[in-house]
Every structure is written in structure tokens, then in C-alpha cells.
């Protein structure tokens, strides 16, 4: 069935002078979703969405709306509100062992916004290549390429990323997942962590620490952030809400020389 819409004049009479009839096909009456739908969804990184704390979230939202000044509803600090950044820094320090700096912490709409921002900032500073784990998350490579950097694959073994291969690559930056490598699940060993930090110091390199799911541990405490050991060499990117939902909010803390301008 195709609904018909006619232009009418005053009093409800049709407009015979124009004889204009506008027809809409049924597909124009509503939007359809492009999101995939599966009977069983095994895609990695998806938490149990039924565990989202709806009631607590609504209570917190209402409390904030009651107390927030009207100015908070407009445009503010592009890095994120000071209250949110301060809370995130406290949380990341307490739970993840990170050491973020207040003026170099940015709140982004997910890793896929924050990481390209960092890659473009590196490209603006003359960096041409960035090392990525192999095997690894394909988005690391694709996002780096779109930002103008050349991704260089570095092998991963049972101890994590191969730091000797990283040295041989002559890359100036590397993106790694030390707390839980994707897709192997390897945790970067203590020896490799020390070697990776030594590489950054010797080569004046930058480590981009993608801490995408260290909170999703049920048998032990989260692995401490590499950034907490060398804040001046590591740009830490975390997803504090990854245990609840996929609409990630990322918090990134970058060393002074690698942080993009707000």
C-alpha cells in the first residue's frame, strides 16, 4: 500500500489549480537499522548488556541534572569537564595503577575517536610509522593508516609483543595491549614490560597503551597500567565503562610531547 498526500487549501478543499499529488513510498516512512542482528552474538569485546545498571544510572543522571549549572549544558572544555576528568583520573589511579596528569587527560567518544586524534598529532610532528601488534586488532592498523601513518606489524608470542623486532623496525611509536593482548589473550610479561619501557627511553619512542578490557577479570585484580611506570613515555587509553556497554567513553592521558592540542 502506498499512502497518498494531497495539498489542500483553506476549508479542506483540494487545490485543483496545482493538481499536485505527493506520494511517499513505504520505505520513507521510517528508518531501518543497519546494525547486524544475530541469534547468538560471539563478537569479541561485547559484555553482558543485561547487566547494565539502569536504575543506578538513572539516579545518578537525575542527581547531576538537579545540581549542574545551566552552563554545563553548553559547550565546555574540549578535553571534557574538569569534574569528569578529575573523577576518571582518581579512578584510573586507584584501580588501574595509572598516573594521569590533569592537563593532559582527554575524554573521547571511544577509542576510534581518540586514537586517530593521537595519530594525526604524531603525523603533524613528523612521525611516519607506527608499530602494531601481529596478530592484533585490525582497527589499530586501519585507523593509523587513515590518519596518515604507516602501520608496521610486530609479531606477538607467548610473552607478548617482540621488543627485539620492535627495535629492528625503527618505528618511533607503538600501539600495544599489554594487559590483555588481542586476540591471543597474552599478558605482557614482566621482562617484556621492562624491555618495552627501555625501548621507549633509548629510542625516544612513544607507547600507546590500549587498555581496552582490563576490568573484565574475575579471578584477579586488573593488571597495572604500563603508563603508571613511565608517564612521560606512555599514552594511556582506557575504556572505564567497557564492563557495562559498548557505547564506550575513552579516557586518554598523554605525555606532554605527544598530546594533541585541545
Rounded to two decimals, the pTM is 0.80
Nearest to 236 by CA among 88, 128, 81, 123: 88
Give how many domains the chain has, as a whole number: 1
pLDDT at position 212: 87
Question: Looking at residue 109, what is its pLDDT?
Answer: 86
Residue 29, in any domain of the structure: no
Domain of 120 in residue numbering reads as 79-258
**Residue 229 forms part of a structural domain:** yes
**Which pLDDT belongs to residue 12?**
53
Residue 56 lies in a domain: no
Per-residue pLDDT of the chain (262 residues; tens, 9 = 90+): 444 444 445 555 555 444 444 454 455 567 788 888 888 878 777 777 788 889 999 999 999 999 999 988 899 899 998 988 998 889 889 888 999 887 888 998 888 999 999 999 999 999 999 999 999 999 999 999 999 999 999 999 999 999 999 999 999 999 999 999 999 999 999 999 999 999 999 999 999 999 988 777 666 667 889 999 999 999 999 887 655 444 445 666 777 654 444 4
State the CB neighbour count (10 A cutoff) for residue 172: 19
* pLDDT reported for residue 59: 96
> What are the respective helix, strand and coil percentages of the chain, to the nearest 5?
35, 20, 45
The pLDDT value recorded for residue 20 is: 45
Dihedral of CA 213/219/225/226: which sign?
negative
Residue 69 in any domain: the answer is no
Residue 139 cell numbers, joined: 582497527
DSSP state of 14: B
pLDDT for 160-169, tens place per residue? Answer: 999 999 999 9
Look at residue 252 in the predicted model and tell me its pLDDT: 67
Residue 252 within a domain? yes
CATH code of 176's domain: 3.40.640.10
In a domain? residue 1: no
Q: Is 80 left (phi over 0), alpha (psi -120 to 50) or beta?
A: left
> Is 45 within the bounds of a domain?
no
- Give a yes or no: residue 111 inside a domain: yes
For position 96, what pLDDT does the model report?
87
Amino acid at each position: 500500500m502506498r499512502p497518498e498526500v494531497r495539498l489542500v487549501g483553506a476549508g479542506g478543499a483540494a487545490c485543483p489549480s496545482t493538481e499536485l499529488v505527493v506520494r511517499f513510498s513505504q520505505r520513507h516512512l521510517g528508518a531501518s537499522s543497519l546494525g547486524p542482528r544475530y541469534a547468538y552474538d560471539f563478537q569479541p569485546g561485547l559484555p553482558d548488556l543485561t547487566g547494565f545498571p539502569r536504575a543506578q544510572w538513572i539516579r545518578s543522571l537525575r542527581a547531576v541534572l538537579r545540581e549542574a549549572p545551566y552552563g554545563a549544558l553548553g559547550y565546555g572544555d574540549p578535553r571534557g569537564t574538569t569534574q569528569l576528568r578529575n573523577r576518571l583520573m582518581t579512578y584510573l589511579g586507584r584501580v588501574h595503577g595509572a598516573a594521569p596528569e590533569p592537563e593532559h587527560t582527554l575524554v573521547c567518544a571511544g577509542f576510534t575517536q581518540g586514537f586517530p586524534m593521537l595519530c594525526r598529532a604524531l603525523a603533524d610532528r613528523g612521525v611516519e610509522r607506527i608499530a602494531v601488534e601481529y596478530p592484533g586488532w585490525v582497527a589499530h592498523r586501519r585507523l593509523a593508516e587513515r590518519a596518515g601513518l604507516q602501520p608496521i606489524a610486530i609479531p606477538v608470542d607467548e610473552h607478548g609483543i617482540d621488543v627485539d623486532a620492535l627495535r629492528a623496525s625503527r618505528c618511533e611509536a607503538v600501539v600495544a595491549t599489554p594487559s590483555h593482548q588481542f586476540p591471543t589473550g597474552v599478558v605482557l610479561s614482566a621482562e617484556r614490560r621492562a624491555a618495552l619501557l627501555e625501548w621507549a627511553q633509548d629510542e625516544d619512542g612513544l607507547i600507546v597503551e590500549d587498555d581496552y578490557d582490563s576490568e573484565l577479570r574475575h579471578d584477579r585484580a586488573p593488571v597495572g597500567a604500563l603508563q603508571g611506570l613511565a608517564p612521560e613515555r606512555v599514552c594511556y587509553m582506557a575504556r572505564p565503562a567497557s564492563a557495562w556497554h559498548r557505547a564506550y567513553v575513552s579516557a586518554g592521558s598523554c605525555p606532554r610531547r605527544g598530546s594533541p592540542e585541545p
